[in-house]
Amino acid sequence: MKFITALFLTAFLAFAVGTYGILPWWSFVVTSFLVSVAIHQRAVKAFLAGFLGLFILWVSLATMKDVANEHILSSKVAQILPLGGSFVVLILLTGVLGGLVSGLAALTGSFFRQSK
């Protein structure tokens, strides 16, 4: 139950912080760290909750934005990058990168709590 709570809380707080336009794009790192400190879990579960929370959030947000402009921009960016022009791979890569950053922040929070 703590895993599901941490996952949803990570996604919700990252969305809330991201909606506030004055903060930098990486401000979700702070929320992932704080969720991991507040909800004590093993390091692996903390990493997975942080990773999956932001992965699901960023993939869904990127997909909504991409569908709205009929995959025009993402297809062109995917052609510039070595992705073979696949907008799906670009969206998944976006989710993986955000998930890794959030997961590492959550892992750091878990280790920080254990050190106390």
- Residue 115's pLDDT is what? 86
> Is this prediction's pTM over 0.75?
yes
d(CA 43, CA 66) in angstroms, rounded, equals: 34
Q: Once rounded to an integer, what is the mean pLDDT over residues 9-26?
A: 92
pLDDT class for 21, splitting at 50, 70, 90? confident
Q: Once rounded to an integer, what is the mean pLDDT over residues 69-88?
A: 93
d(CA 100, CA 11) in angstroms, rounded, equals: 14
> Side chain identity at 59, as an amino acid letter?
V
For 39, phi then psi, to 5°, come to -110, 100
- Asked if 38 contacts 106 with a C-beta cutoff of 8 angstroms, the reply is no
pLDDT class for 55, splitting at 50, 70, 90? very high
- Mean pLDDT, the chain, as a whole number? 95
